[in-house]
Structure 1
Amino acid sequence: MTRACLVDVYDTIVNSRFESRQRDVAAFAGVDADLWLAGWMTTRTERDLGTLSVADSVAQALLACGIDPAPELVDTIVGKDAELLRQQVRVFDDSIPFLTGVRASGMAIALVSNCGDSTRALLDYLGLIPLADAVVLSCEVGSMKPSPDIYRTALEDLGVAAADAVMIDDQPGFCAGAEAVGVRAIQIVRPELDGQVSRSAFPLVRSLLDVPALL
């Protein structure tokens, strides 16, 4: 019996628009977008594990572009990045009906995301935190998918056994990480993100509204 859903955030319940947003940040900072993206990605793991803040990552990306990361400049870019998150990240149309429907059926929900320290404020702004029983962010718990620890943290927060939970994620590697700890996984591939996957090692859905039939 499924008692809980662990649900990924970016490109599962919200459209991240990651690359285009970072290119907009680069344009705001007046730096080459490719250099900025390369510098930003070099700190992704540390940012997701919470050992570097978004501000630290901005500073490193500026250095990669040959720009002195003066504190005032870093603060300005961090603020712009947060503004762009609010402006550009959108909740998929099926996300709120899915989350509210699952909870109404008696199942618990944990949002489980690999992310930096700007994500909790974004989820709050989007009104998604009240729709979950737990919010497990990699930067806050110090572990990231597909590490077993982040899934186990979510299960502990919800008070359910792995066998009684399902993970919904767009990344097959993160689905595999869930199954490695005994959590059944469902992969979502959204057509609006140019998802071309026709086969998967996991049950495959194109919309969250297709998930309840598989629970």
Structure 2
Amino acid sequence: MSFSAVIFDFFGTLTPSTPSGIWDEHAARSAAPLGIPVEQWRRALDESFPERAVGAMGDLPRTIRTLARRCGVDPGDEALAAATAARLACQRELFVFRDDALETLERLRRDGLRIGVLSDCTIELAETLPTLPLAPLVDAVVLSCQEGRRKPDPELFRQVARELDTPTGDCLYVGDGGGDELSGATAQGMTAVMLRAGDWAINDAHAREDSWPGPFFSTLSHVVAAAGDPALITA
């Protein structure tokens, strides 16, 4: 029996992994207009991720202002606008897909499978995703910042399955393991596979399941055959 739907994580799965150095460089670009030391700003961003990932800090300008104040700076309108623009530009640089990502989605659609995206993310992705080239290729998108909950919250997996009109047991879930997503998907009856691509080790991920004992693929292209024949998925 083949799957009816495939659900993908976004960062580090559909997109390449992001090493720590890139986050440092991006932090420097948004810290500069605020006059905040890069290390302090990077720490504020990292520590606030749990809040930002569930949409608790509001839109991006409000988020930047709140974080700046936590760093002891009350930015003026011009500095806030510049920092917000820098942050958004940096995040959009991360919304670049793996070489085989879009082709994989297109092949899955041609094979009649429904496609979902489930991501722990902040407001920048929510604002930008409708303009990305994957938008017309997916049937359901569930983002933590819009739902007010993060992986491995069971409701996120159930929700994306509902939006795909597919029982969880008929879903294949593919992710790099961030946010305990593979265990979370498995607990809801999905078949979970880790994407362990060549850049997997450099990814600066949150609470990743590095010791995942289940099956893994080295490329997204492997998903196409496995979606049609679950027997190809072996630990």
Under a length normalisation based on structure 1, what TM-score does the superposition of the two structures give? 0.89
Partner of 1:10: 11
Partner of 1:99: 105
For the pair 1:174 / 2:174, whether they are aligned, the reply is no
Instruction: Give the partner amino acid of 1:44.
Output: F
Partner of 2:130: 124
Partner of 2:51: 46
Partner of 1:158: 164
Unaligned runs of 5+ in 2: 204-208, 228-235
Deviates further, 106-115 or 164-173? 164-173
What is the CA–CA distance in structure 1 between the aligned matches of 2:94 and 2:146, rounded to whole Å? 24
Instruction: Give the partner amino acid of 1:142.
Output: G
Percent identity, aligned pairs only, is 25
Unaligned runs of 5+ in 1: none
Deviates further, 128-137 or 78-87? 78-87
What is the CA–CA distance in structure 1 between the aligned matches of 2:114 and 2:202, rounded to whole Å? 28
Shift of 1:199: 6.6
What is the CA–CA distance in structure 2 between the aligned matches of 1:42 and 1:55, rounded to whole Å? 18
Q: Is the 8 Å Cα contact of residues 5 and 108 (structure 1) preserved in structure 2? A: yes
Q: Secondary structure at the match of 1:43?
A: helix
Partner of 1:214: 226
Q: Secondary structure at the match of 2:174?
A: strand
For the pair 1:200 / 2:209, whether they are aligned, the reply is no
For the pair 1:37 / 2:49, whether they are aligned, the reply is no
Partner of 1:21: 26
Give the total of aligned pairs: 215
Cα shift readout 1:50-101 (whole Å, capped 9, x = no counterpart): 1212333312331243211334433331222112233454211111011111
Instruction: Give the partner amino acid of 2:223.
Output: V
CA-atom RMSD, angstroms?
2.3
What is the CA–CA distance in structure 2 between the aligned matches of 1:5 and 1:181, rounded to whole Å? 14
Q: Is the 8 Å Cα contact of residues 12 and 188 (structure 1) preserved in structure 2? A: yes
What is the CA–CA distance in structure 1 between the aligned matches of 2:10 and 2:4, rounded to whole Å? 19
What is the CA–CA distance in structure 2 between the aligned matches of 1:37 and 1:163, rounded to whole Å? 40
Q: Is the 8 Å Cα contact of residues 85 and 122 (structure 1) preserved in structure 2? A: no
Deviates further, 73-82 or 94-103? 73-82
Partner of 2:230: none
**Dislocated runs of 4+, deviation >3 Å:** 15-18, 27-30, 69-72, 193-200
Q: Is the 8 Å Cα contact of residues 16 and 89 (structure 1) preserved in structure 2? A: no
What is the CA–CA distance in structure 1 between the aligned matches of 2:142 and 2:85, rounded to whole Å? 24
Shift of 1:194: 3.5
Instruction: Give runs of aligned pairs for residues 135-150 of structure 1, distance below 5 A.
Output: 135-150=141-156
Deviates further, 173-182 or 50-59? 50-59
Instruction: Give the partner amino acid of 1:6.
Output: I
What is the CA–CA distance in structure 2 between the aligned matches of 1:162 and 1:93, rounded to whole Å? 28
